[in-house]
C-alpha cells in the first residue's frame, strides 16, 4: 500500500538499511541520471552498498556523469539479479516508465520508494515523496541530504547540479525557484567547479551537430506573417553529417528564439521512411497537442509530436496547412 | 585624485547627494545596461533624480529593459547638457570606453564614481570600487543595495538579473559564484518572473539573427587538430541580413559548444574597415587576453578582444597564426 512519506521518514528509512538499488525513467535525461547518481553517491558515502540499474543505460551526452561513480549504471537487460533491501525509483511518474527489464529485477522483498517531482506521478511503491513544486528530482535529493545532514561527495554535487540545471534550462524556465539557486550556491560553496560541469553538459557537442545546424538552417521556412517556422531533416542530410540519435536535441531552440515565431515544427525523416514531427508553441493559444492529435500524435499544449507517412514533402504540406489554420483561429 | 572606496563609503556618498548621471561602456551588453538601470532605478526609488546617458544608446536586444525605466537612456550625442552632482561610470574599464560624447557631457563639478568588475580597470574618477572577483557589475550594484538596505524596485530586479545572467552565460561560466546564486535567490524571492525575463533575454531575437548564424556557419573554419575554430562577418554579410548592433551577441557559443574546440575567434569587419576580433577560450592554458595583447587589445584570460586593421583576410591570418602558436605551447 502506497503512502505519502515525509523527508524525515525517508531519512530514517535510508539510514536504517544497508543495500540499495536505484533506477529512473526510460530515455533518461540529465535529471534522471543526475538524481540517480546524486542519491547513490551520497548513500555510498554513508557506507551503503548501492546498485544502479537502468532500462536504457546512460546516453552518450551524460556519460561523463557515470565516470564519477564507482559502480557503473548497469543496463537492466544485461543483469541477472539485483539484491537490495530498498529499491528507489527516481524522477519516474509511473511504474511502466521504469521499463520492463528494471521491473523484472526489483527484488520481491525490497521496500519500494518513489521520489519524484512530476505532478502526474501515480504514487506507486511503499513510500512516496512527490513534490511537484520542485523543478528537479535532483533538487529533492539535495533537500533530503541537507535535512539529514548527510555529506555530499564531490561527484554527487556534480550529478545534482546537472539534474537541476538541465531540468530548468540552465535556470531559465518558469519552474526555477529561489531554492534552486540556494542549492547551487551551496554546491558552489562546497567546491563545485561550475565551468567544468557546464562545459561537460553544454559545450560538449560533436562537431557534426554544428554541421547539422547549418544544413537545417538552409531548410528553414516561415509563414508569410512570420509567426510559424519549420525546418526539415532528411535521411540524405543525416548521412552527410554522420547523424547519431541525440544530435539534434535542443536545436529547435534556434527557431523558438525568433521573436515573431509563435510555433515551430521540426520534420525528421526516419530510416523506416516515416516522418517524425516535433512541434513547439510559445503560447497556449496555439495548442500543438491538439494539432498533433489530428495526426495520431499528442503531448503537451506547448510541446507535442506525431508520426506521419512519408514522403517528407507531403507530411510537411499536411502539418503546415493544419498549423496555419490552428494559428489563425 | 582617484581613491579606492568601500561599499559603505559609496552608500554615504549616494545617500548624501540628490542628482545623478549614470553611464557605461561603448557597445553596451546586458551587464552595461543592466547595471546602469539597476543602480538608477534603485536611486530613483530613493527619491533621487537620475539621468542615464550613453554613447551608443540601448541596443535593440536590450530595449525591453529600458521600457522598465521612467527616464529613458539618452544617446549622449543628442544631449545638450547633463546636470548632476554625481557621475557614475559602471562596468567600464577606462575613461575612453565611455565614448567621447559622454566624456564631453560629464559636469565639471560632479563627483566621479567608478564601479566595475574588470580586473583591467584603470581606476579613474574620484571614488573607485573595483571587484574583479564579481562576475558582473550588476552583482556589485546588488551588493551595494543590500549592504545599504535600499529597496529594489521590480524593474531594478529585472535589470540586475539580466546583467548577472548575460555576463555569466546563464550562470555557466567560471566567474559564477555562490554569491551570484544567492543574489538570484534573493531576486526570485522578491517576485522576479524568471520565465518572462529569460524569454525577453534569450528567446526574443530578430529573424535576421538566425539568418546571420546561417551565414556565419558557412564561414566556419577549424584548425587541423580541431581544437581551434573561427568564423567571419564581413560588411557584405551585414548588408545582406540588415545587421544591427547586438545581433551577433552570444552566437560564439555555437563554436564554443563543439567538444574538441579549446578556443575560438569571431572576426567582424566594422564600417570603418577595421576588424574587431573577439576570442573565447575554454581553458586557462590558452590565455586569449595575452593573445589579444599582442594586437593592442586585452580582456580576461578566457574572453578577450582586439581591433586590427583590415582587410579581414590579413587580420584573420595574423590572429589565427598567433592563436595556433599559443595553443601549441
What is the average pLDDT value for chain B, to the nearest integer? Answer: 94
Contact B32, B154 (CB under 8 A): no
What is residue B271's DSSP assignment?
A: T
* B24-70 tens-digit pLDDT: 999 999 999 999 999 999 999 999 999 999 999 998 889 999 887 77
Residue linked to cell 581551434: B228
CATH number of A7-202: 3.90.1640.10
Closest by Cα among A94, A109, A110 to A22: A110
Closest by Cα among A134, A47, A52, A144 to A89: A52
Q: Is residue A3 predicted with pLDDT exceeding 70?
A: no
* B128-163 tens-digit pLDDT: 999 999 999 999 999 999 999 999 999 999 999 999
* A47-96 tens-digit pLDDT: 999 999 999 999 888 999 988 777 889 899 898 888 999 999 999 999 99
* B70-123 tens-digit pLDDT: 788 989 999 888 999 999 999 999 999 999 999 999 999 999 999 999 988 999
* A181-240 tens-digit pLDDT: 999 999 999 999 999 999 999 888 899 999 999 999 999 999 999 999 999 999 999 999
Task: Give the Cβ contact number of residue A284 at 10 Å.
Answer: 8
B9 touches chain A (CB under 8 A): no
What is the average pLDDT value for chain A, to the nearest integer? Answer: 93
CATH number of A209-328: 3.10.310.30
Q: Nearest residue on chain A to B175, judged by CA atoms?
A: A195
List CB contacts (< 8 A) between B254 and chain A: 210, 213
Q: Nearest residue on chain A to B183, judged by CA atoms?
A: A181
- In the structure, what pLDDT confidence band is assigned to residue A14 with cuts at 50, 70 and 90? very high
Contact B153, B41 (CB under 8 A): yes
List CB contacts (< 8 A) between A207 and chain B: 222, 226, 258-260
pLDDT in the model for residue B186:
98
For A235-295, the DSSP string reads HHHHHHHT--TTTTTTTHHHHHTBTT-SEEEEEEE-TTS-EEEEEEESSTTS-HHHHHHTT
What is residue A234's DSSP assignment?
A: -
- In the structure, what pLDDT confidence band is assigned to residue B185 with cuts at 50, 70 and 90? very high
Q: CB A254 to CB B207 under 8 A? A: no
Q: CB B210 to CB A220 under 8 A? A: yes
Residue spans per domain, chain A: 7-202, 209-328
CA–CA dist B101, B74 (Å, integer): 11
Cell of A85: 533491501
Q: Which residues contact A230 (CB under 8 A, 6 or more apart)?
A: A220, A221, A222, A255, A264, A265, A266, A267, A316, A319, A320
Helix/strand/coil percentages in chain A, nearest 5? 40, 20, 40
A181 touches chain B (CB under 8 A): yes
Query: Average of pLDDT values for B173-178?
Result: 94
Q: Which residues contact B299 (CB under 8 A, 6 or more apart)?
A: B120, B279, B288, B289, B292, B305
pLDDT in the model for residue B2:
59
Q: Which residues contact B16 (CB under 8 A, 6 or more apart)?
A: none
CA–CA dist A230, A222 (Å, integer): 6
pLDDT in the model for residue B1:
44
* A167-195 tens-digit pLDDT: 998 999 889 999 999 999 999 999 999 99
Q: CB B218 to CB A214 under 8 A? A: yes
pLDDT in the model for residue B300:
83
Percentage of chain B exceeding pLDDT 70: 99
A179 touches chain B (CB under 8 A): yes
B190 touches chain A (CB under 8 A): no
A–B CB contacts, 8 A cutoff, strictly below:
130
Query: Average of pLDDT values for A135-140?
Result: 97
Q: CB B185 to CB A185 under 8 A? A: yes
Instruction: Tell me the CATH number of domain B207-328, given options 3.30.930.10, 3.90.1720.10, 3.40.50.10490, 3.10.310.30.
Output: 3.10.310.30
CA–CA dist A127, A13 (Å, integer): 10
Closest partner residue to B195 (CB to CB) among A173, A202, A217 is A173
Contact A36, A59 (CB under 8 A): no
B226 touches chain A (CB under 8 A): yes
- Closest-CA distance of chain B to residue A158, Å: 13
- In the structure, what pLDDT confidence band is assigned to residue B233 with cuts at 50, 70 and 90? very high
Closest by Cα among A207, A134, A203, A131 to A164: A134
List CB contacts (< 8 A) between A64 and chain B: none
Q: CB B257 to CB A182 under 8 A? A: no
Q: Is residue A128 predicted with pLDDT exceeding 50?
A: yes
For B295, the 3-state DSSP assignment is coil
Q: B66: burial class by Cβ within 10 Å (0-12, 13-18, 19+)? A: middle
- In the structure, what pLDDT confidence band is assigned to residue B172 with cuts at 50, 70 and 90? very high
Percentage of chain A exceeding pLDDT 70: 99
Amino acid at each position: 500500500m502506497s503512502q505519502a512519506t515525509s523527508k524525515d521518514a525517508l531519512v530514517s528509512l535510508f539510514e536504517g538499511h544497508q543495500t540499495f538499488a536505484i533506477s529512473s525513467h526510460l530515455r533518461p535525461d540529465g535529471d534522471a541520471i543526475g538524481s540517480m547518481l546524486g542519491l547513490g553517491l551520497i548513500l555510498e558515502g554513508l557506507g551503503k552498498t548501492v546498485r544502479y540499474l537502468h532500462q536504457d543505460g546512460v546516453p552518450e551526452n551524460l556519460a561523463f556523469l557515470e565516470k564519477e561513480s564507482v559502480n557503473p549504471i548497469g543496463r537492466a537487460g544485461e543483469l541477472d539479479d539485483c539484491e537490495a533491501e530498498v529499491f528507489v525509483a527516481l524522477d519516474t511518474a509511473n511504474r511502466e516508465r521504469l521499463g520492463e527489464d528494471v521491473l523484472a529485477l526489483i527484488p520481491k522483498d525490497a521496500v519500494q520508494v518513489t521520489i519524484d517531482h512530476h505532478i502526474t506521478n501515480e504514487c506507486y511503491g511503499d513510500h512516496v515523496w512527490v513534490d511537484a513544486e520542485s523543478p528537479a528530482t535532483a533538487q529533492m535529493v539535495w533537500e533530503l541530504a541537507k535535512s539529514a545532514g548527510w555529506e555530499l561527495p564531490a561527484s554527487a554535487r556534480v550529478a545534482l547540479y546537472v539534474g537541476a540545471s538541465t531540468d530548468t534550462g540552465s535556470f531559465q524556465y518558469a519552474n526555477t525557484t529561489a531554492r534552486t539557486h540556494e542549492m547551487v550556491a551551496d554546491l558552489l560553496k562546497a567546491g563545485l567547479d561550475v565551468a567544468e560541469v557546464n562545459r561537460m553538459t553544454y559545450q560538449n557537442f560533436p562537431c557534426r551537430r554544428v554541421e547539422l545546424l547549418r544544413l537545417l538552417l538552409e531548410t528553414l521556412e516561415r509563414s508569410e506573417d512570420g509567426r510559424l517556422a519549420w525546418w526539415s531533416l532528411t535521411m540524405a542530410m543525416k548521412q552527410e553529417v554522420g547523424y547519431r540519435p541525440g544530435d539534434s536535441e535542443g536545436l529547435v531552440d534556434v527557431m523558438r528564439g525568433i521573436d515573431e515565431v509563435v510555433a515551430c515544427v521540426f520534420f525528421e525523416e526516419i530510416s523506416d521512411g516515416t516522418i517524425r514531427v516535433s512541434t513547439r508553441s510559445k503560447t497556449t493559444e496555439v495548442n500543438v497537442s491538439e494539432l498533433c492529435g489530428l495526426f495520431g500524435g499528442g503531448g503537451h499544449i506547448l510541446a507535442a509530436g506525431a508520426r506521419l507517412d512519408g514522403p517528407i514533402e507531403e507530411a510537411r504540406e499536411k502539418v503546415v496547412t493544419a498549423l496555419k489554420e490552428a494559428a489563425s483561429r
